[in-house]
Amino acid sequence: MNITVVGSGYVGLVTGTCFAEMGNRVTCIDIDKGKIDKLKEGVIPIFEPGLDAMVLKNVENKSLHFSTKLKDGLDNSEVVFIAVGTPMGEDGAADLQYVLSVAAEIGHTMTRPLIVVDKSTVPVGTGDKVRRKIDEVLKKRGASIDFHVVSNPEFLKEGAAINDFMKPDRIVIGADNELAFQVMRDLYAPFTHNHDRMIEMDIRSAEMTKYVANAMLATKISFMNEVANICELVDADVNQVRIGIGSDSRIGYSFIYPGSGYGGSCFPKDVKALQKIAEDEGYQAKLISSVEAVNDRQKLVIADKVIKRFGEDLSGMTFALWGLAFKPGTDDMREAPSIYVAKELIRRGAKIKAYDPKAMEEASDFYLKDETDISYHDSKYETLGNAHAMILLTEWKEFRSPDFEELKLKLVNPVIFDGRNQYSHLRLEEKGFEYYQIGKKSAAKGM
């Protein structure tokens, strides 16, 4: 099948590449000429395991193409995916200007019947707006061309996006006619060969499904972090509580690990957008609002522990920071707890020595570019010299089993603040460390 994907960011590039991998002829479109030129040269603008090799392979076998001109794709395509950004506006709502701009351009450019698929995360009712926009432009052209709008939300996890696309848990398709459903069944057939994972519904329900899925996962995270904070107050161990409740099949173990809060491009934006959707209908979504409030507070829990241990004034103190990305397997720092922790400690006079396997360029060029009291290092151990404590905020694999003797040797104080409870099972207090985690008092200081 011939496919066009408009938007060559994270979702668009993964989507186009995976469809090309299955033998489709895919053209990825983006208005950013610099990005398209780099993609043609084999330079991938994002870090996602396995993506670069798959892009290069499909470019070489001429299944995957890149262009800045929508016409280059639409002239021969049966399906066009809209995968542009929907940034959060000041009021929390998703900004649809890019989606509707693409819809207008599709109306200007299309010359044959099309299935127009919303892949971007969009509010309920966006499918109707896309349809109206294309209709409006076609009427101005005096053209009568059949098209159908479909909602096909993405459920990709950063760091595992290729596997998620190639072996999906589910494929949600929202449409209003059998032709559109059949085209989407045919397109996704190679991904559902062993098991039918396609879930068909109306367009508005498909649009809602994406927001609800992310809000549900965010709710589990915030709930467990709230429980963790209560556990500390009553001298319980949230790590044991987690095992106790996770063994219940109705609850399960996924997304009930306590930590420093969620970040990234999806959960924060989608939780706010769902609140705004409810607000626009005159409904106050109290639970969803609380999910966000708990998460905002949780991002500073580790900073609060540092301050409680070392004092309000951190002048003259240095802290080793392990992990900048919001989660392992990505260089994405959007809404990462590391931003909030680093800025709070620096505000109080501290210096930060940071290391992350993938996100240091993101930190230095964008998210922490104005902070002069942070330095970046080539390895986790380089950060330890003259540091008064180590703070772990991202659970990269290389942080799971460090040389604790080296930590003790290099740190000014053998103190660890673990924002992901990676070492909660190791009894570090017995090895001479002051160990502070989420959801359990420290044996050393009763914190």
Hey, which residues are catalytic here? 266
Task: Report residue 250 as tokens.
Answer: 């109705």
The Cβ of residue 71 has, within 10 Å, a number of other Cβ atoms equal to 14
Axis-axis angle for helices 126-141, 97-109 (nearest 10): 30
The set of residues, in sequence order, having a beta carbon less than 8 Å from that of 372 and lying 6+ positions away, is none
Burial tier of 316 (Cβ tally within 10 Å: 0-12, 13-18, 19+)? exposed
Nearest by Cα to 434 from 308, 343, 300, 272 = 308
Whether residue 82 contacts residue 47, with contact meaning beta carbons closer than 8 Å, is answered with: no
Burial tier of 60 (Cβ tally within 10 Å: 0-12, 13-18, 19+)? exposed
Task: Report residue 117 as tokens.
Answer: 């698929």
Give the Cα separation of 447 and 444 in Å (integer): 8
DSSP H helical ranges for 110-173: 126-141, 161-166
Task: Report residue 262 as tokens.
Answer: 């969620």
Angstrom distances, CA of residue 395 to CA of 60, 129, 221, 403: 36, 41, 15, 16
CA atoms in the 13 A half-sphere facing the CB of 444: 19
Residue at token pair 């609850």:
251
Give the Cα separation of 280 and 421 in Å (integer): 39
Q: In the sheet that 114-118 helps form, which strands lie side by side, from edge to edge?
A: 64-67, 25-29, 2-6, 79-82, 114-118, 147-151, 171-174, 198-201
Nearest by Cα to 218 from 174, 275, 146 = 275
DSSP H helical ranges for 119-202: 126-141, 161-166, 178-188
